[in-house]
Amino acid sequence: MLLAFVPVQSAAFSDTNKAPVSDTNTLVVRNQILIERLDEIKEMDKSELTRAEKKELRKEVREIKQEINGNRGVFVSVGSLVLIAVLLILLL
């Protein structure tokens, strides 16, 4: 059984000469690209676009803004709120 894991461990040590990729750098670059796309959309002449194309642009802008801001917050479903309330009533 130990012999099955030896190739996996040796593969992990073979990539020591590669530079580590920072998540914050990639996130900054991705956000910059998204901000540039928002600027492009803002500067577009939207008067010649069809209704469907305008709808697509609005949808894209919303998605970009959500990605930039991130999905912050905790979402709790109604079922879990009811369960928590029942448990609190029973315990108190």
Q: What is the pLDDT of residues 34-68, one digit of tens each?
A: 999 999 999 999 899 999 999 999 999 999 988 88
pLDDT of 86 over the 80 cut: yes
pLDDT at 7 over 90: no
Provide the mean pLDDT of the chain.
78
How many CB atoms sit inside 10 A of residue 2's CB? Answer: 5
Q: Count the helix, strand and coil residues of the chain and give each as a percent rounded to the nearest 5.
A: 75, 0, 25
Cα-to-chain-centroid distance, residue 57: 20
pLDDT band at 1 (very low <50, low <70, confident <90, very high): very low
pLDDT value of position 26: 82
